Amino acid sequence: MATEGPATRRVQVAEHPRLLKLKEMFNSKFGSIPKFYVRAPGRVNIIGEHIDYCGYSVLPMAVEQDMLIAVEPVKTHILQLANTNPLYPDFSTNANNIQIDKTKPLWHNYFLCGFKGIQEHFGLSNLTGMNCLVDGNIPPSSGLSSSSALVCCAGLVTLTVLGMNLSKGLKTPNLISINNYTKLGGTAVGWMGSDSFSPSRAWVELAEICAKSERYIGTEGGGMDQSISFLAEEGTAKLIEFSPLRATDVKLPSGAVFVIANSCVEMNKAATSHFNIRVMECRLAAKLLAKHKSLQWDKVLRLEEVQAKLGVSLEEMLLVTEDALHSEPYSPEEICECLGISLEEFRTQILSPNTQDVLTFKLYQRAKHVFSEAARVLQFKKICEDAPDNMVQLLGDLMNQSHMSCRDMYECSCPELDQLVDICRKFGAQGSRLTGAGWGGCTVSIVPADKLPSFLANVHESYYQRSDRSLAPEKQSLFATKPGGGALVFLEP
Ligand code: ADP
Ligand code: NG1
């Protein structure tokens, strides 16, 4: 593959079986040839769970599995979506009348999130349509960010189509910023770019747009998944920091391998309120801590804001939590009394639509998890930098502590994940934890490189073979993974 600019690859489609198959399916579906292809990867979060939406740094890496979309811009206003997987039915709509139904997280809604995000960011109307064929190989609802990969891929598809239109003379009020983006695509499709263009800045902005737009689906995520999908680089994990968003390389130990194992329990975040309840509990904990410390609490949304306003360490925030919050669950009435607001204000001004009827909130436990997990992320990064002789063991210990905290304080594990983590540790993992939102999905384990073959064989036998969990296709259930690259546009020469 020849390289063309920071995010564009020239590819001979015939040499890439997956692209070739997609091109052929596109042709039989739409009767034409795709103009370009876009990929956006899923991710595995190594450490730092449920803290991105609290403003704290996380440590993910992109996986090889991704969302791939073949695209042809069309002259009508119709956006037509098809999928290589028959489980995901065809969908079409007017590109200028995008409706996202939050009550049903159907697959096409994730595409529409990315599409609408770009459309709204640039204030565009009168958009032309496109034909898209989607092919994904990230196990869905398993904590590896299949949903965000789809949103990011759709966002980059939309931006690329806009860039193509721009080159044909489309004028918009935001032409300057679109020009900056369009250079992402290289010169092959005649796009324009300013000389001060910064690819990393454009990726950051695109990640922020997609993080915001995925919330159209109803979940209040923090931005880790979209950030790593755009900012990932092959060979390195990333520390992702927020406000402002930035990504720093974290070199993982060469003597160990990270292994993903799927518990085979699926949990769709948007179809239940589990995820948003945690986001609300953290938001409420932040407000109560701020009030306790006589800060202006009404604008506070994230736990990190409280720490920043107090100017104290994470360890001190754990002490503040002990002081300010009790371990018994809080009722809505008690929270209202603490904050001096009515139940009506509580529901309309603080809670999300799908958490209105929640009766108990565990603020102490959630805050304790968040502050301790945020500290573990920083320790993990420091160990990777210092590279002591026993680094694999030290990193493993942090991952084990993270799982315990997710299980006991955050209550986002499930019996199958706990069992899988135990099996992974028994067969040689130095550390093992759930990854992603939890309540099902995958574990990630750190395994000394020399133990990898026996680890894989034993975990396979103990978790997959000895139960009716059929081992899904290769690279779906149990596999070693390396830091992969980020989103890309593919063009044929
Ligand atoms: P994850 O943790 O993988 O992001 P979510 O439950 O948030 O899980 O999102 C999963 C949803 O993403 C699926 O229900 C489906 O709607 C969508 N999705 C995942 N993979 C694909 C795919 N290959 N094609 C279309 N939609 C997909
Ligand atoms: P996954 O694993 O994709 O469900 C979710 C959130 C992340 C983060 C993790 C927990 C979205 C899109 N993703 O990820 O932002 O909060 O849970 O660490 O909401």
Is any ligand 1 atom within 6 A of the Cβ of residue 85?
A: yes
Chain segment 92-111, per-residue pLDDT in tens: 999 999 999 888 889 999 99
Tokens encoding 262: 């799927």
CB of 177 closer than 6 angstroms to any ligand 1 atom: no
Please name the residue that has the structure tokens 């239109």: 165
Q: Would you list the DSSP string of 453-493?
A: HHHHHHHIIIIIITSS---PSTTTSEEEE--B---EEEE--
Query: What percentage of the chain exceeds 90 in pLDDT?
Result: 82
CB 46 within 8 A of CB 237: yes
The sheet that has 2-4: what strands, in order across it?
2-4, 8-10, 488-491, 36-47, 59-73, 130-136, 78-83, 91-94
Task: Tell me the two tokens of residue 387.
Answer: 């590279």
- Three-class DSSP category at 370: helix
Compute the distance between CA of residue 178 and CA of residue 175 in angstroms, rounded to an integer: 5
Helix H or strand E segment including 67: strand 59-73
- The percentage of the chain sitting over the pLDDT mark of 70, rounded to a whole number, equals 90
Q: For 238-261, what is each residue's pLDDT tens digit? A: 999 999 999 999 999 999 999 999
Predicted confidence (pLDDT) per residue in 138-195, tens digit: 999 999 999 999 999 999 999 999 875 544 333 333 332 333 334 333 322 223 333 3
Counting DSSP H helices and E strands in the chain, the numbers are 15, 14
Among residues 52, 195, 225, 468, the one annotated as catalytic is: 225
| SS3 of residue 393 by DSSP | helix
Residue 325 has pLDDT above 60, yes or no: yes
pLDDT at 468: 67
Nearest to 428 by CA among 413, 407, 447: 447
**Pairing verdict, β 78-83 and 91-94:** antiparallel
Ligand 2 binding pocket (C-beta < 6 A) is 45, 49-50, 52-53, 143, 145, 147-148, 214, 219, 221-222, 224-225, 269, 436-437
Distance between CA 412 and CA 428 in Å, rounded?
24
Q: Regarding predicted confidence, which is higher, 229 or 126?
A: 229
Q: Is the pLDDT of residue 487 over 50?
A: yes
> Where does residue 348 rank: exposed (0-12), middle (13-18), buried (19+ CB within 10 A)?
exposed
Whether 142 is in the pocket of ligand 1, judged by its Cβ within 6 Å, is: yes
Query: Is-contact 324 287, C-beta < 8 A?
Result: no
The pLDDT assigned to 473 comes to: 56
Burial of 296 (0-12, 13-18, 19+ CB in 10 A): exposed
Mean pLDDT in the chain? 90
Give residue 389 CA to ligand 2 midpoint distance, Å.
33
Taking CA atoms only, the protein residue closest to ligand 2 atom 12 is: 221
Find the 144 Cα to ligand 2 centroid distance in Å.
9
Which pLDDT score, from 0 to 100, does residue 196 have? 42
User: Helix, strand, or coil here: 87?
Assistant: coil
3-state secondary structure 49-64: CCCHHHCCCEEEEEEE
| Any atom of ligand 1 within 6 Å of the Cβ of 428 | no
Tell me what the mean pLDDT of segment 27-45 comes to: 97
Q: How far is the CA of 39 from the centre of ligand 2 (A)?
A: 20
Q: Which ligand 1 atom is nearest residue 105's CA?
A: 16
The DSSP symbol for 40 reads E
Q: Whose CA is nearest to atom 16 of ligand 1?
A: 107
pLDDT of 188 reads 26
- Give tens-digit pLDDT for 349-384: 999 999 999 999 999 999 999 999 999 999 999 999
Tell the burial category of 396 from Cβ atoms under 10 Å away from its Cβ (0-12, 13-18, 19+).
buried
- Vertex 107 angle, CA 103 and 110, to 5°: 80
Among positive and negative, which fits the CA dihedral 215, 217, 221, 227?
A: negative
DSSP class per residue in 94-137: ETTS----TTS--HHHHHHHHHHHHHHHTT--S---EEEEEEE-
Cα distances from 16 to residues 175, 449, 490, in angstroms, run 35, 30, 11
For position 267, what pLDDT does the model report? 84
Quick one: the chain helix, strand, coil %, rounded to 5?
45, 20, 35
> Which pLDDT does position 472 carry in this prediction?
59
Ligand 2 center–CA 313 separation, angstroms: 25
Quick one: which atom of ligand 2 is closest to the CA of 52?
A: 16
pLDDT at site 237: 98
How far, in Å, from the CA of 258 to the mean position of ligand 2?
19
Return the minimum-mean-pLDDT range out of 116-125, 140-149, 227-236, 422-431.
Answer: 116-125
Phi, psi of 80 (to 5 degrees): -115, 125
Residues 412-458 have pLDDT tens digits of: 999 999 999 999 999 999 999 999 999 999 999 999 999 999 999 99
Give CA–CA dist 199/195, Å, rounded.
11
How much is the pTM?
A: 0.93
Q: What span, in angstroms and rounded, lies between the C-alpha atoms of 87 and 107?
A: 10
Any catalytic annotation for residue 52?
no
pLDDT of 17 > 50? The answer is yes
Q: Rounded CA gap, 304 and 282, in Å?
A: 10
**Lookup: tokens for 50:** 């449920």
